Structure formats: structure tokens, C-alpha cells
């Protein structure tokens, strides 16, 4: 199916790959590998500004991303969306964390890392980005 220049892919196929195949193949290394894969995706799809991250997340089917808090060396984003699709209970969100870390690092030019904090009960994920302003890239 095609609408404009956007293709629609059934979520079931995406869920099989993301939630079962990858976790089965990667095993205990799933989080680490997904984080680095997210960084690699960010290198291949660089954003002009961090404001574009919300649009990228929506188009990638990763959910609704909003900036919650910002300081000189950190940002906190909130990821929400349909809990049936995002599977807050069981999904690893390290892919998204790596993507955000690399995008921020690219934008600012300083080493940036991100960790994710799931709240399955309230159905959201917080991404905490921390930039080391002493470590220029």
C-alpha cells in the first residue's frame, strides 16, 4: 500500500522481526547491539536538528517522541504511543536510545550517551541524554 511517498507496512511483520527474531538471535547482547545499531541508523539518516527527531520516530513507527526537559548538557525525551504496538512490557528500547545519542552527538559535536527508563505501568519510556561538554568529537 502506498500513500503519497510513504509506504505502509503491517505492524505484525515489524513486531515479529523486532520483538522475536532479533531478541532470539542477539540473546543477552540484544541491548548492546541494538544501541549500536541505533547509532548506525542515525549516521545513515542524519537530522538537521533534534526537533526533527519526533518526525523521524513517527515515520519509523517508533511512537510519539516529545522533549520533556532540557539543560546545557542533558535532555529528557518521553516516548508514548499505542501500547499494543510499542509493547512497553517486553520491548527493548536501546535502538531508539542509540539513535538519539548519535543524533545529539552529531548536532553538538560532543560525546553523548543515552539510557532509557521504561514505565510499563504508565506506558511510556524516558530517554535521558547526557553530553560530556569536555569530550569534543
Under DSSP, the state recorded for 16 is I
The residue with cell 513486531 is 15
Give the three cell numbers for residue 58.
513517527
Cell numbers 513507527: residue: 61
pTM: 0.89
pLDDT of residue 136: 96
pLDDT attached to residue 9:
62
- Dist CA 40 CA 8 (whole Å): 23
* CA 132/CA 61 separation, integer angstroms: 30
Looking at domain 2-136, its CATH class is alpha beta
The reported pLDDT for the residue numbered 46 is 97
How do the domains of the chain map onto residue ranges? 2-136
How far is 16 from 30, CA to CA, in rounded Å?
15
Q: What pLDDT sits at residue 1?
A: 38
In this structure, the number of other CB atoms found within 10 A of the CB of residue 37 comes to 16
pLDDT per residue, tens digit, the chain (137 aa), is 344 566 666 778 878 888 889 889 999 999 999 999 999 999 999 999 999 999 999 999 899 999 999 999 999 999 999 887 788 888 899 999 999 999 999 999 999 999 999 998 899 999 999 999 999 99
Return the pLDDT at 128: 98
Amino acid at each position: 500500500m502506498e500513500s503519497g511517498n510513504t509506504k505502509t507496512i503491517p505492524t505484525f511483520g515489524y513486531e515479529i522481526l523486532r520483538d522475536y527474531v532479533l531478541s532470539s538471535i542477539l540473546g543477552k547482547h540484544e541491548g548492546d547491539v541494538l544501541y549500536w545499531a541505533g547509532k548506525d541508523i542515525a549516521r545513515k539518516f542524519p537530522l538537521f536538528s533534534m526537533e526533527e527527531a519526533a518526525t523521524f520516530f513517527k515515520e519509523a513507527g517508533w511512537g510519539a517522541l516529545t522533549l520533556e526537559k532540557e539543560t546545557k548538557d542533558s535532555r529528557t525525551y518521553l516516548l508514548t504511543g499505542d501500547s499494543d504496538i510499542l509493547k512497553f512490557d517486553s520491548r527493548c528500547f536501546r535502538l531508539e536510545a542509540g539513535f538519539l545519542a548519535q543524533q545529539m552527538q552529531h548536532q553538538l559535536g560532543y560525546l553523548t550517551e543515552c539510557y532509557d527508563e521504561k514505565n510499563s505501568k504508565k506506558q511510556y519510556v524516558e530517554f535521558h541524554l547526557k553530553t560530556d561538554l569536555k569530550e569534543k568529537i
